[in-house]
Amino acid sequence: MIIDKLYEAVEKKGPVCVGLDTSIDYIPKDFLKKFTSLYDALFEFNKRIIDATEDIASCFKIQIAYYEALGIEGMKVYSKTVKYLRSRENIVIGDIKRSDILDTAKMYAKAHFEGDFEVDLVTLNPYMGMDSIIPFLEYLDKDKGIFVLVKTSNPSSKDLQTLYAGEKRVFERVYDFLKPYIESNLGRYGYSPIGAVVGCTNFDEAEDIRKNLKGMFFLIPGYGAQGGKKEDVKKLLMDGNGGVVNSSRAILLAYKKYDDEFFLAARKELLRMKEEILSAI
Ligand SMILES: O=c1ccn([C@@H]2O[C@H](COP(=O)(O)O)[C@@H](O)[C@H]2O)c(=O)[nH]1
């Protein structure tokens, strides 16, 4: 199961995930100058970051919006990056946050679990209900997994996710829907390939969420650029596993902090982040 592989990668490399939210603006000018094509520069930037961090990152999360925004050429870089990552046995999370009616969701599942954009796990928005999720579950036995948005890291997450719908909060209702599928798909370490996105940006429900969302592995964004702290991350991990903490901008732009080559700076920042998180556990 993909979630067992992710658990083992965390054991080996630590609970950190490199976010490839690569904007052209992030590429240092001196590096950009070496290329006649912006898209080649974009891929080569990603490649250097990957090469410099893959031995200490349990997985990579690639944010599709940054590539979609560049049109067809951008999506070719997305495809090339995910293929490169997977060819080197890295676990890849496609941050696609999709949601739609059943038949359309089937197409999204095919688009991201097969073919040019194939990744290992994808993020999904559950707020259209279970039929928007089901087509993705059909890929669980093909070594794929999902992370469902439960409590996101943005300030407006409280507008809906933590509201009460009857006796339970909306995010608890999401868990209730998923529970039977989680329980019937538990891996070797007690986690299911149906995971949850839970941000680490200081919020009241963190301990509650960790305790109640049994069997769910967490994708934890919000660390670094959004101000998430090690104390918040600690509440969401279980003895240093059970989740991966993503950082994107703080890693990609680390060269502004360390005055080093961008890929060396990225490595330095990832190591710093990993040590900081592990020191809190
Ligand atoms: O709740 C969520 C869900 C997803 N994200 C995504 O994670 C990264 C965060 O980037 P940083 O630069 O480390 O802030 C980005 O791709 C978001 O789309 C999130 O932030 N919060």
Q: pLDDT, tens digit, for every residue of 156-172?
A: 999 999 999 999 999 99
- Checking if the pLDDT of 203 tops 80, the result is no
ipTM of predicted assembly, 2 dp: 0.99
Under 8 Å between Cβ of 201 and 235: no
Instruction: Verify whether ligand 1 is closer than 6 Å to residue 94 (CB atom).
Output: no
Name the residue with the closest Cα to ligand 1, atom 5.
221
Q: How high is the pLDDT of residue 281?
A: 87
The tally of domains found in the chain comes to 1
Q: Which residue out of 47, 83, 97, 179 is catalytically annotated?
A: 97
Q: What is the pLDDT of residue 120?
A: 98
Reported confidence tier of residue 131, pLDDT bands at 50, 70, 90? very high
**pLDDT score of 138:** 97
Gap from CA of 61 to ligand 1 centroid (Å): 9
| Minimum-distance ligand 1 atom for the alpha carbon of 61 | 16
Domain holding 95, by residue range, is 2-280
Cβ–ligand 1 contact at 22 (below 6 Å):
no
What pLDDT shows up at residue 81?
98
pLDDT for residue 173 is more than 80: yes
Report the pLDDT averaged over residues 263-279: 97
What CATH number is associated with residue 185? Answer: 3.20.20.70
User: Nearest CA to 178 among 205, 146, 206?
Assistant: 146
pLDDT > 90? residue 204: no
Judge whether residue 85 has pLDDT over 80. Answer: yes
The residue contributing the CA closest to ligand 1 atom 11 is 248
pLDDT in the model for residue 259 = 86
Find the range with the poorest average confidence among 21-35, 173-187, 198-212, 234-248. 198-212
CB atoms within 10 A of CB 279: 9
Per-residue pLDDT band at 51 (split at 50, 70, 90): very high
* pTM for the whole structure: 0.98
Q: Tell me, what's the pLDDT at 229?
A: 93
> How many whole angstroms from 36 Cα to the centroid of ligand 1?
30
Residues 6, 233: contact at Cβ < 8 Å? no
At residue 92, the pLDDT reads 98
Q: Catalytic annotation on 97? A: yes
User: Concatenated DSSP letters for 118-153?
Assistant: --SEEEE-GGG-GGGTHHHHTTGGGT-EEEEEEE-S
Indicate the average pLDDT of the chain.
Answer: 97
